[in-house]
Amino acid sequence: MQTKTKTHLSILFVLILLGIAIASFIASRPATIPDNVIKVNGRIEGENHLASTKVSGKVQQVNVAEGSYVKKGDVLALIDSAQVRARVTQAAAAYGATLASYKAAQTALKLVGMQTPIQIEIAQATITYAQAALKAAQANEKLAKNDLRRVKSLYSKRLISKHDVESAELNLKTLHAQTIAEESAVEKARKAFSLANLGWKAFKVKQDEVAAVKASTLQAQASLMEAVSILNDMKIRSPIDGVVTTKLVNEGEVINIGAGLFNIVNLDKLFLKGYIAEQKIGQIHLGLKADIYLDSLPKSPFSSQIKFIASHAEFTPKEVQTQEERVKLVYVIKLYLDENPNYRATPGLPADAYIKLQ
């Protein structure tokens, strides 16, 4: 007997609580809808962002689950990157080698550019010096010739000995040889000057070499950047701040390029998607304010405004229960929440919106 009484009391207590909850729910919303208010039913939805992969490979690690809150840039999953890391190492070594060659070629070019004008200047000075020495030798030779003629004249008059004549002849031969040597020196200096001027051609060749090595360096750098980019793509990152609503991959699975792995919703940009009857569509417009009540939070309305109105009518969706409602023409509207404190509103929750007409 006592057991039955306790059972009846428990049922009565539950019914009382249920009644209080229903009364509270009803009390939190308008008991009657004024003429300047339109009620719209629907569900909370959000802008979906798909985190997909740019590369194929085996999933090495998954860091999030459905319902996880993530920040933009958070690593959601890792794809096995051993081979790509090896490519990065190889590309980095190739880039380092070509960069060193490029710097060496630049140094050589700079050196040739500095040496060439100095070498030309030295060669020009050598020519000047050799020409002066040649003039001096030619002048000395001329004097020696005059001396020899004078000595021979004196010898013919028996005023000097034959030895004096021989000395004058020997002196002329010596000076003539000196003249020939100086002429050779001038010719050699001129060739050296021509060779020094070839330094500018060598400079041009070095410039071409620098350009070629620079091109190779840029190519190696591009290959390295590509390898690094692919390595970064092995980390699947969140495109936005939000919550993971769908996880489409598990560790160990092999994925293809472009595969969608995670669906993420931005909880700061939620909206109620509802339908308004064709005969009422003329009463609303973009920017109208509305209060949205979640079934789970009947006492905490969310302020919102209409930011989307469909341009064409459609039949009421199939999920509407009655045949009578499904044959009506309606327009899709979206009411975006002004804010979502503590992320209490989440996609999928049923809700009612009360649009305030102006």
| Residue 123 tokens, joined | 């060669």
Largest CA distance in the chain: 180
Closest residue by Cα to residue 201 from 126, 123, 124, 119: 119
Q: What Cα–Cα distance (Å) separates residue 16 from each residue in 8, 27, 28, 94, 293?
A: 12, 16, 18, 79, 24
| Res 298: pLDDT | 83
DSSP H helices, the chain, are 2-28, 82-156, 162-197, 199-233, 323-326
| Residue 33 tokens, joined | 């809808």
| Res 314: pLDDT | 84
State the amino acid at position 264 in one-letter form. Answer: I
Distance between CA 65 and CA 68 in Å, rounded?
6
Tokens 């929440």 label which residue? 337
Instruction: Print pLDDT tens along the chain (358 aa).
Output: 444 444 444 544 534 444 444 344 334 455 567 778 899 889 999 988 999 999 999 999 999 999 899 999 999 999 998 888 999 999 999 999 999 999 999 999 999 999 999 999 999 999 999 999 999 999 999 999 999 899 998 888 888 888 988 998 999 999 999 999 999 999 999 999 999 999 899 999 999 999 999 999 999 999 999 999 999 999 999 999 999 999 999 999 999 999 999 999 999 899 999 988 888 888 889 999 999 999 888 888 999 999 999 988 888 775 554 444 544 788 999 999 999 998 889 888 999 999 988 6
Report helix, strand or coil for 66: coil
| Res 4: pLDDT | 45
Report the topology of domain 32-80+241-356.
Elongation Factor Tu (Ef-tu); domain 3 (2.40.30)
**85-230 CATH:** 1.10.287.620
| Res 191: pLDDT | 94
Angle separating helix axes 162-197 and 82-156, nearest 10 degrees: 160
In the chain, what are the domain boundaries? 1-30, 32-80+241-356, 85-230
Q: What Cα–Cα distance (Å) separates residue 115 from each residue in 68, 118, 203, 246, 288?
A: 68, 5, 10, 70, 80
Whether the model clears a pTM of 0.95, i.e. scores above it, the answer is: no
Handedness of CA 12, 18, 24, 29 (dihedral sign): negative
